[in-house]
Amino acid sequence: MRFSGKLAGGVAIAALVATATAALAQDGAAARAQPAPASTPVPAPAPKSSDAFTQAFPQTTVSQPVVQGGLRIDAPLVQTWTVAQAQQLVSVIEGIGAEGLDPKDYDLQPLKVAIASGPSAELNQIASQSFVWLVEDLRDGRTPMEARTQWFVVDPDRDANPSGNVLADALKSNDIAGTLAKLNPTHPDYARLKAELAVTSDGQVAKRKLIRANMDRWRWLARDLGSQYLITNVPEFQLRLTVKNKIISTYRTIVGKPGRTATPQLAETIEGVIFNPTWTVPQSIVKGEGLGAKVLANPAWGKRNGYVATKGANGYVTVVQQPGPGNSLGMMKLEMPNEHAIFFHDTPSRHLFANDFRALSHGCVRTERALELAMTMAILGKGATKQEAVAISTSGKYTRVNLQKQWAAYITYFTMATDINGELSTFKDIYGRDAPVLASLDKPRVRNRSAAPTSEVIVIEDDLKDT
């Protein structure tokens, strides 16, 4: 494939597509080689008990949810434990510091006392409760929602692995530690942070807490991020195009200024790529800064600057900036519907990517070499062939390319992570989001936590002006 001479980076795009396609093909071949899972019989109901305690907390050892009338019924949160299984749980809790968690959070001493008394309803209750707390923290993260500033990710792991079902699997397999370990994030950075924690002495209190906080941030996300995705670490000012956790390419970013225009943390889906986008100017500029009146009074000036103004019968003025080199969104934007109006896009002010500190936007993520990224995603997403992507991008016309294979996009906030050079690094806490997370580590774990975000939704209105 030969790219038009009008478009820089054609060879690079072809190489990126080839690398990503090979990674996906290799992963698909590995998946086909895996044996099909064995079917699991529906378990018999647990025997009834006249004991008041066991009636209050039904017990069973099912390993899969019961299905009745097409509806899933999750296994109960209190189930029957042997002494040997409870002793395995003690070992897990005693070593849970390796995962950045605190053994004091899981009722270790009451569990040991119950074990000493032998099998009992009390042992079942205490062991089940401690196990479920471990599941919640390893699967969902220990940090309560009120300490997750501007965090709006819906984590699918709670629904995919209900606590009672994980408990049932652990007891049926008789592998307490192994079952819990399966909840750990699969992204390589989690293992990297865990390894760093292991070699950091207890005397390095601040560093250990920072590692633990960032390990927990990985648990806030889905355990498996998917086969292909974009992930940007806001404090690092970098975006990665990733296939099966392998970085295909990286791009510098410009993110939101600290304050109300800080970029939130999201997990969204990119549905399409818009080449040569238009930009609907927000009313804060149309009305507040007088742009609408200026364009209406001087259409020739508006045309030279790419603006078209329309005045409705009710007097409402809209201004749309047409595609072109000076368009505020540059040559592309990635269509990523969300209530915050956040998306990735190009910028005509590309000189700003040379700055070390790039928290300069009004919330959206501006992306270096944005056209390269857009074309690569359109091709990999089968929205366009290589030839079509070149023709569309150079046409100068607004074109939306729908993706047959949509991309996951993660906007994250890690202050300790692997940088684009493969080194474990720390990044400036540009939005001050570490403090509440670190403070929560010093407090007892919050029980009965909500899974709903508590931060205010701030709709991004203006991503035009540069500082």
3-class secondary structure, 153: coil
Q: What is the pLDDT of residues 16-52, one digit of tens each?
A: 777 766 766 665 555 455 544 333 333 333 333 323 3
Model confidence at 404: pLDDT above 80: yes
Which domains, and CATH codes, for the chain?
52-218 (no CATH), 227-426 (2.40.440.10)
The pLDDT of residue 401: 96
**For residues 237 and 254, what is the distance between their CA atoms, to the nearest angstrom?**
6
Instruction: State pTM to two decimals.
Output: 0.85
> What does the alpha-carbon distance between residue 212 and residue 197 come to, in Å, rounded to a whole number?
8
**What SS3 class is residue 318?**
strand
What pLDDT digit, counting tens, does each position of 222-281 carry? 999 999 999 999 999 999 999 988 999 999 999 999 999 999 999 999 999 999 999 998
Q: What is the C-alpha separation between 400 and 383, in angstroms, rounded? A: 10
Lowest mean pLDDT among 218-227, 314-323, 449-458: 449-458
Which phi and psi (to 5°) does residue 163 adopt? -55, -45
Q: Which of 31-40, 136-145, 273-282, 306-315 has the lowest mean pLDDT?
A: 31-40
